[in-house]
Amino acid sequence: MATDMHKLLGTSEEDDDEDMDMDVKEEDDDHRNRGTTRAGSGSSNEEFMFQQSMQDQVGTPGGGGSRRSRPLEEKERTKLRERHRRAITARILGGLRRHGNYNLRVRADINDVIAALAREAGWVVLPDGTTFPSKSQGTKPPGGSSAVAAGSSASHIASQQTSPPALRVVSSRSPVELSSCRMKGVFAPGPSPYDIPPTQSPELVGSVNKGDGLAGCSVDVINSKQILEIPSNLTEQDFSGTPYVPVYVMLPLGVINMKCELADRDGLLKHLRILKSIHVDGVKVDCWWGIVEGHSPQEYNWNGYRQLFQMVRDLNLKIQVLMSFHECGGNVGDDVCIPLPHWVAEIGRTNPDIYFTDREGRRNPECLSWGIDKERILRGRTALEVYFDYMRSFRIELAEFVEDGVISMVEIGLGPCGELRYPSCPIKHGWRYPGVGEFQCYDKYLLKSLRKAADSRGHLFWARGPDNTGSYNSQPQGTGFFCDGGDFDGLYGRFFLKWYSQVLIDHADHILSLAKLVFSSSCIAAKLPDVHWWYKTASHAAELTAGFYNPSNRDGYAAIASTLKKHGATLSFVSGEVQVLNRPDDFSGALGEPEAVAWQVLNAAWDSDTPIARENSLPCHDRVGYNKMLESVKFPNDPDRRHLSSFAYSRLIPALMEGHNIVEFERFVKKLHGETVMNHHHHHQQV
């Protein structure tokens, strides 16, 4: 049949039946048209008999040139043949993905298989299907194309193919052929990306989750929608000789299960060895409060982390750890569910004010409210004492890894997602990008703090949250508080925002002071998010609800940087510039400017002489995205040649380990290390 098979995999049985009905219909038309053509051109006797048999089939009432259809039994046989053929194709695709290192898309069809095998054999396959030998095999036939036959030809090529190495991409094709060959969804072994000149460099355009504004790429999205395409005008900067920036890879969120055991020891070890082979400096891992102290207060289980740290040390890698005092699940990128400790949840059932609360009274159990930092309500302990005891237990139980330098940095979780911010944009409460979010200060403990602050100013009627801020998904101009000239810049607004942001700063100050007592000889850090939407408005509404008092007429990050400097902590900034490459319209519509936010935060840190680390917010596997991240880490145009103390790549997922992706990532690591990366015109090697 001549029908397309783009719905080959992942369709329901009803969809298959509908497709097959269309196949039968098209086959009828094809046979009728073909019969007419053959009769008029002096076809063979066999073809003439075929035409006659088609004409003998039952037509519609009225006859006379009307549309003819095939008997129902023949349609059913066609459906069975089609299902059988699709089942065979599915097994072929599965085998190629599993054993041949082919990155075939989920809904790949037989054309993708043939194209992949043809390219493996050194042929050039153009987007329209035109196929011809590479220059190393011969010249292109005059007049256009030579098609690669399906069926037996594909099986013949498959029998001759060899699996490419896991970490190396090799081919006999020239760079000229690469520029003319557009590879879509198929891993085609070719020259190493190191050898491709800037004018012919491939770009992996990663498809992101379109469901939510800030949604990142899930593993499924990356595997099924990633496209390999080559831009002709990609220019790259030379970072050779620049300062060495250590590279860490964030481990999967569920690398340690709820029993505090390694979830997949063998698989993790395999991936760690690959990372070591491409000279990654170390890994970053969450130490979940809900796992370690999950069942009873002050009963800690570090067994799984001890095994993990030992494995990392054996490979001579370093570790950055995150003291995760928040839950996992419900946020963008969360693929596991790790709640707060059970005993904390029991307290929360009788006293829900231990959680952040919005104006409607909705509780957010993602982390504890900062209002209870000094309230002795957690089985006789304050929240600060609970955090301190947890960190001290880590320092005692895993002392060997701290003292021998395996643990290079301890990042202190200060809020949702481990970041220093209020949970102002909870997806579970209906927030969607680019909503301004809501203030989270309506638990009784924070309201008590607000009342105290208002009383000290002599304006007790200010002891309330603003009532004209809209809802989670409002836009600034639709509210009386955040609009241009709104209440955010009035006397009450400035009082409230100053108090709201000061609670955030005080929380960071208290926990970091305790962390420095525990980890006196280690580097500690605090993570800041990139809240970039509505940055081009006067109020910077999304930043205000997140706790950053940073309207257009005030610097809200200087005080935070000074607090980190006070405790010798590194500022770990989550960057979002790569998001602009994938979704530029979202940022222009939300008046967002990730690069401007980043530069403001970085300058606040530099002004206070605070070290800076960075991590990306979305998965990235393409050359363009990596180049964008390099510019945000290396600052090539900075006359002072400033750079970051480390970079954490998010995150170790199966897609990163795929052939082309891991080669691109190795290239990225080399540039962060300041090494020379050879281009094609400098070096070329065929294997």
Q: What's at 148, amino acid-wise?
A: V
Task: Give the SS3 label for residue 322.
Answer: strand
Strand ranges (E), 340-494? 355-357, 363-368, 407-412
pLDDT of residue 91: 74
Distance between CA atoms of residues 114 and 150, nearest Å: 7
Per residue in 163-186, pLDDT tens? 333 333 333 333 333 333 333 233
Q: How confident is the model at residue 344 (pLDDT cuts 50, 70, 90)?
A: very high
Which has the closest alpha carbon to 177: 134, 208, 142, 220? 134
- For residue 474, pLDDT beyond 80: yes
Does 636 or 260 have the greater pLDDT score?
260
- Active-site choice (375, 419, 595, 666): 419
pLDDT of residue 179: 34
* Tokens describing residue 85: 């053929």
Distance between CA atoms of residues 327 and 339, nearest Å: 5
pLDDT of residue 301: 98
* Tokens describing residue 40: 């008029």
* Tokens describing residue 444: 């009784």
Report the interhelical angle of 491-518 vs 558-566 (nearest 10°).
20
CA 154 and chain centroid, separation: 35
Residue 400 annotated as catalytic:
no
The share of the chain scoring above pLDDT 70, in percent, equals 68
Q: CA 409, 514, 372 angle in degrees (round to 5)?
A: 120
Tell me the average pLDDT of the chain. 78
Distance between CA atoms of residues 119 and 660, nearest Å: 15
Query: Kind and range of the H or E element at 463?
Result: none
Q: How confident is the model at residue 191 (pLDDT cuts 50, 70, 90)?
A: very low
Per residue in 408-453, pLDDT tens? 999 999 999 999 999 999 999 999 999 999 999 999 999 999 999 9
Does 487 or 170 have the greater pLDDT score?
487
Residue 397 annotated as catalytic:
no
Query: Kind and range of the H or E element at 117?
Result: helix 110-120
- Active-site choice (327, 543, 577, 615): 615
Section 454-466 average pLDDT:
97
Q: Report pTM.
A: 0.67
pLDDT of residue 676: 92
Q: Name which of 138-142, 309-313, 340-344 the model is least confident about.
A: 138-142
